[in-house]
Amino acid sequence: MKEFELKYGCNPNQKPARIYMAEGSELPIRILNGKPGYINFLDAFNSWQLVKELKEALGMPAATSFKHVSPTSAAVGTPMSGALKKAYFVEDIEGLEESPIALAYARARGTDRVCSYGDWIALSDICDGVTATLIKKEVSDGIIAPGYTEEALAILKSKRKGTYNIVEIDEDFVPAEKEIKQVFGITFEQGRNNFKIDKELLNNIVTENKKLTEEAKRDLIVAFITLKYTQSNSVCFAKDGQAIGVGAGQQSRIHCTRLAGSKADHWHLRQCEKVLNLPFLPSLGRPARDNAIDIYISEDSEDVLRDWESIFTEKPEPLTEEEKKTYLATIKGVALGSDAFFPFGDNIERAVKSGVSYIAEPGGSIRDDNVIETCNKYNMVMAFTGMRLFHH
Return the active site residues: 67-68, 233, 392
Per-residue burial over 175-204, b if 16 or more Cβ lie within 10 Å, else e, is eeeeeeeeeeeeeeeeeeeeeebeeebbee
What is the Cα–Cα distance from 38 to 5, expressed in whole angstroms? Answer: 10
Distinct helix (H) and strand (E) counts, the chain: 13, 15
265 with 354: CB under 8 angstroms?
A: yes
What is the Cα–Cα distance from 28 to 78, expressed in whole angstroms? Answer: 30
What is the Cα–Cα distance from 223 to 244, expressed in whole angstroms? Answer: 9
Question: Pairing mode, if any, of strands 186-191 and 165-169?
Answer: unpaired
Question: What region, left, alpha or beta, does residue 23 occupy, with left being phi > 0 and alpha being psi -120 to 50 degrees?
Answer: alpha
DSSP state string for 252-295: SHHHHHHHHHHHHHHHHHTTSHHHHT--B-TT--HHHHHHHHHH
Give the residue among 28, 24, 7, 25 at the shortest CA–CA distance from 16. Answer: 7
What is the Cα–Cα distance from 219 to 210, expressed in whole angstroms? Answer: 16
374 with 345: CB under 8 angstroms?
A: yes
Q: What is the largest CA-CA distance in the chain?
A: 63
